[in-house]
Amino acid sequence: MPFFVLMWILVLVNDALLFFITIGIFSGIILYTIDKPKLAKQILEFFKPAKLFFYNFLSSYLSTDLKITKVSQDMALNLVKPVANLKPLAHLQKKISKSIETDIRISGLAANPRLLGLQSTSYMILAGVISIPVAILFSIVFENPVLLFVLILVPAIMFAFPTLRLKATASERKSQIEDELAFFAAYCGIMQSVGRSLLSSLLEIAGAGIFKMLERESKMIQRNVRIFAMDELSAINNLALNHPNYTFSNFLLGYVSIHKSGGSLARYLENKGEEFFNSMRFRMSQYSSQAATIGEAMLIMLNVLPVLLISSSFMMPASSVQMLTNASFVLVPLIAVIMILVTNHSQPKLRDEVKFSKNSIFAAAISAAIGIISGLESWQVLVLGVFAGSLVNSIMTFQKFREISLVESALPDFLRDITEHVKIGAAIPNSIVRISKERRYNDYFDFLISDISSKIVFGYKLSEIISSYKISSWNARLVFFVLGKIADSGGGRPQTLEYITNFVTKVNQAKKEMVSSIRVFAIMAYSSPLMMVWMTKAMGEVMERLGPSFQVLSGGAGQIIFLSATPEFLGIINLLVAISAICMGMVMSKVASFTLKNTMGITITAAITFVSIYFSPYLPSMSPLLGGS
């Protein structure tokens, strides 16, 4: 105990060397005096729950499935249990548990409010015990107050994390379900027309991998029916009353009301499906008009702003190097992240199945390491790593994005052909077989339809065939899922196929309009590295010609030293150009492709950036415009 007290006294008197020496002596005395086999056994027993703790922590905070955490399996709770049971902390836990009960209901998670309150206080205590001494030590060694503030902030973050997680889950549940409602309502209408209730439709989609957000609601319905012993209407009504999305809640409440009043449920579901399709069509059209605004904002914030910073930095004192560094590493990436988040909020969500290539991370790391070993400049290392990583990912995902494009371009014509066959009384499977022989769309879609047709001929059900395929396009999966349910059930009307066809057609048109509206911004984004590099060269020439005038104007003892174009300064400018160009490529990928997994735009901007900076000495000079020869 005296050694323990001495350790912290040495910390307070800023003697780091003696602090570590005391730790070593203290550890040696303990290891020499205790029973080592018994200690080893106790250590193993103590860390036995560690695996369960990390598994429960990661699975509960990274997954939104319905899971229940046992207190006995949470090592953090067991470690600080004596402290957490103190009266002030116990009172705090009760207040937290009462305040988050509504959030738990809205989030749809199977969570215990008292357990979450206990976790908040326990994680705060544990984080404080670890981070505060480390923060004090780091402040002594590195003398950095920012680092001290960040480490002291960790306990507060851990305290708020469970509550923030609930609110984030509730927000996700509220916002993302509307993208699935149109096809789900159409599917429910088809099932209702053959006597299958909404409850049956909800239970059947669990595990299908089609409706990601609605599968969570299916699990909530299962819980209400199987565990809480609710009847069908009570379970649906309970889900509606506790759901954060107003549209979905009204949809369920309307179903319950029609069911109780004896109205036509099939007609209600079909009408709601048409309403949801019109709403999604409007959202896609609205986004296509917003994309141009996002493109304009991108050029202003990620092209014009860096150009202004570069131009003004030549006129500023030497301290502007720090300003450019902050702009490169903080301001420009922060603007890009904000623009990506704004774009993500305004975009209709598409759940196309394209996996980001993990090999691209290794390619980027290896390329950057080679650049560092070779002694390349910072901007060269950055551009080389980003180019290699994005190029590898583009190559690995090119086929998937091509398949999505080919399938979605053929879907409207295919659905129109199916609808015409259904109108004359043909079954959907027979229509697919006939279309595969008579109609041609594109290479990939023709191969897909031909393969489906051959399995239909062998007697397989259409829904079984569709479930065996991994179609990358989410719209195509939804369309084929509905077609399979129509074929298996014998329900559905030509009108259902009509508004699905109109929806897919309008979505494709909106996408084409959006791409055409931002094409000019994409071209300007790809050419922006050249523009910024040329501006840098022009400003360098201007300062070279005006340098003697500045020396005359700023002479004397208190002269102002203007920044000269040193290699360090030019390197920071090149780094700012590279980061701005890469960020523009990321924003364009998100706007045009609805995802950052399509890295072709980033590859192009990285390549143009490298070529522009490397060949900047060969760019046309601005001297003729300045009156030089």
pLDDT at res. 438: 83
Domain shared by 2 and 90, yes or no: no
pLDDT of residue 61: 44
CA dist., res. 497 & res. 505, Å (int): 12
73 and 32, same structural domain? no
**pLDDT 10s digits, 353-412:** 888 888 888 888 888 888 888 888 888 888 888 888 889 888 888 888 888 888 888 888
Residue 387 lies in a domain: yes
Residues 256 and 363 in one domain: no
C-alpha 377/C-alpha 380 separation (Å) is 5
Supply the DSSP symbol for 562.
B
| Per-position DSSP letters for 40-95, written without gaps between them | HHHHHHHTHHHHHHHHHHHHHHH--S-----GGG-HHHHHTHHHHTSHHHHHHHHH
In-domain check, residue 276: no
Determine the Cα–Cα distance for residues 589 and 242; give it in Å rounded to an integer: 37
pLDDT at 1: 44
pLDDT band for position 299 (50/70/90)? confident
99 and 63, same domain (yes or no): yes
* Residue pLDDT, tens place only, 52-102: 444 454 444 444 444 444 444 555 566 666 666 666 767 777 777 777 777
Same domain for 95 and 224, yes or no, is: no
- Shared domain check, 384 and 371: yes
Residues 153 and 189 occupy one common structural domain: no
* 283 is a domain residue: no
Q: Could you list the residue range(s) of the whole structural domain that residue 253 is in?
A: 177-263
> For residues 238 and 105, what is the distance between their CA atoms, to the nearest angstrom?
11
Residues 6+ apart with CB under 8 A from 465: 452, 455, 456, 484
User: Cβ-count burial of 248 within 10 angstroms (0-12 exposed, 13-18 middle, 19+ buried)?
Assistant: buried
The answer as to whether 126 is a domain residue is yes
In a domain, 26, yes or no: yes
* Average pLDDT score over residue span 464-477: 82
Token digits for 619? 């760019």
Residues 526 and 599 in one domain: yes
Confidence check: pLDDT of 451 > 70: yes
My answer on whether 496 and 417 are in the same domain is: yes
CA angle in degrees (0–180, nearest 5) for 268-272-278: 150
The pTM of this model reads 0.69
Q: pLDDT tens digits, residue range 105-154?
A: 777 676 677 777 777 777 777 777 777 777 777 667 666 566 666 666 77
Decide: helix, strand or coil at residue 334.
Answer: helix
Let me know whether 409 and 490 are in one domain. yes
Domain's final residue, options 125, 152, 170: 170
CATH number, domain at 492? 1.20.81.30
Residues 161 and 58 in one domain: yes
Higher pLDDT, 462 or 77: 462
Tokens describing residue 20: 């570590």
pLDDT at 37: 56
Return the pLDDT at 31.
52
* pLDDT on residue 70: 46
Span 201-233, pLDDT tens digits: 888 787 777 788 888 888 888 887 888 778 888
270 within domain boundaries: no
- The number of distinct structural domains making up the chain is 5
608 and 538 in a common domain: yes
Is 194 part of any domain?
A: yes
Among candidate residues 170, 187, 205, the one where a domain is terminated: 170
Flag whether 272 is in a domain.
Answer: no
Close Cβ partners of 466 (under 8 Å, ≥ 6 residues apart)? 452, 477, 480, 481, 483, 484
Residue 553 has pLDDT above 50, yes or no: no
Interior CA angle at 88 toward 85 and 89, to 5°? Answer: 50
Last residue in a domain, options 154, 170, 186:
170
Average pLDDT over residues 234-240: 84
